[in-house]
Amino acid sequence: MTSGRSKPAPPAADRREPDPVLRKEFAERLVRTLELRGYPPYGRALFARVAKEYNVTISASRKWLSGEGFPGIETLVRIANDLKISLDYLLRGVEILFDQSSSDMEVRRSIALLQLAKSFTLVPRAEAKKIERGEHTREVIGFTRDWLERHFGAGEGEIDACEASGDAMAPEVRAGDVVVYRKGVKAFGDNGLYVLRQGATVKLRRVSLLADGRIKLACENRSYPPEIFPARRVVFGQAADPGKIAVLGRYLGSIRRAD
């Protein structure tokens, strides 16, 4: 005998999809990556192959590849794994390519793929091997050029990047953030953030010009005391003299990974 009560319905699945612009950008990145991996060019043959591999209808795969639809999260993860790219790239257009533990073959393959994809630009990390507390940087970071323009107002060849460590610039920049900066600056703008090399250390600091001609380097974290140097100690660009402070560029912004 039943109680007459009906069981509560399970919660409805969240089927919200990205807005049309993000769906379109996702589709363009997916099609480009599939072609680089040897898939057919955009068209029915590609729709059919993707449909077969991911067990969906041709209509569904066509919508993914045209920006009209979007795969579910499990399928999205599988696509990224199969194509050996990150979800970060598929969804946002920014990809950390490799670090120093990667094999030479992996490095060469990553660079070759990005050079073939004309919408990509490779951004080298800072030349120093260590940043702040001695942690290794990423070697190369790949960005889509339109993403660089949209977020930093900078084009190919104008920027470099490095990976931060330590908490000296928190909360503005945290350990693990990728710091993007415009290289080739020739003078300071007062109270701006700059990427500097001091000896073997690359760091981000807020620069102020003092009335007596000296330069103050300050951290956002007030538990770190400022450093003050005579202007003659500071040079713009690379410095052969290890006693100099080299200004590598002006801070444009940072990229933070999701926690």
Binning pLDDT at 50, 70 and 90, where does residue 2 land?
very low
Which has the closest alpha carbon to 123: 164, 94, 153? 94
Binning pLDDT at 50, 70 and 90, where does residue 16 land?
low
pLDDT in tens, 107-129: 555 555 544 444 555 555 544 33
Which has the closest alpha carbon to 79: 96, 60, 99, 98? 60
Which residue shows structure tokens 């900066």?
181
Query: How far apart are alpha carbons 253 and 183 in whole angstroms?
Result: 13
Share of the chain above pLDDT 70, in %: 68
From the CB of residue 74, how many other CB atoms can be counted at a distance below 10 Å? 8
Residues 6+ apart with CB under 8 A from 15: none
DSSP class per residue in 3-66: -SPPPPPPPPP------HHHHHHHHHHHHHHHHHTTPPPTTHHHHHHHHHHTT--HHHHHHHHH
Q: What is the pLDDT of residue 145?
A: 63
Instruction: Decide: 198 and 239 in contact? Cβ < 8 Å.
Output: no
Which has the closest alpha carbon to 27: 83, 58, 70? 70
Among 122-131, 159-168, 192-201, the range scoring the smallest mean pLDDT is 122-131
Model confidence at 64: pLDDT above 90:
yes
Among 117-121, 183-187, 244-248, the range scoring the smallest mean pLDDT is 117-121
Which has the closest alpha carbon to 237: 227, 225, 245? 245
Among 129-133, 170-174, 255-259, the range scoring the smallest mean pLDDT is 129-133
Element (H or E) spanning 258, and its range? none
Residues 6+ apart with CB under 8 A from 27: 64, 65, 66, 67
Among 51-55, 113-117, 129-133, the range scoring the smallest mean pLDDT is 129-133
pTM: 0.51
Structure tokens of 113? 């793929």
Q: What is the pLDDT of residue 100?
A: 44
Query: How far apart are alpha carbons 163 and 179 in whole angstroms?
Result: 6
Structure tokens of 200? 């073997």
CA-based radius of gyration for the chain: 24
